[in-house]
Amino acid sequence: MGLLNKAEAAKELGIEPETLDNWRWRGKGPAYVKLFKEIRYDLTELRRFIASRTRQPSVQSFMEERNAI
């Protein structure tokens, strides 16, 4: 299990580290591990978080792209 600090996790997600703080405070975002006073993010959980937000394009966007060609 690879645990990342906040800066490393933010880089993996392509966001600012403060965004992770905000998401944690709001009860959103990827799962995290609290070891004593330190917050860590499991790389597997970060990838699961990304995968859970993967969306397929809608038919409408497909048709718009097709008509733009």
* Residue 50 backbone phi and psi in degrees, to 5: -60, -45
pLDDT tens digits for 22-65?
999 999 999 999 999 999 999 999 999 999 888 777 777 777 77
The predicted structure's pLDDT at residue 1: 57
Q: Which CATH number fits domain 3-68: 3.30.1490, 1.10.10, 1.10.3470, 3.10.20?
A: 1.10.10
> So what's the pLDDT on residue 22?
97
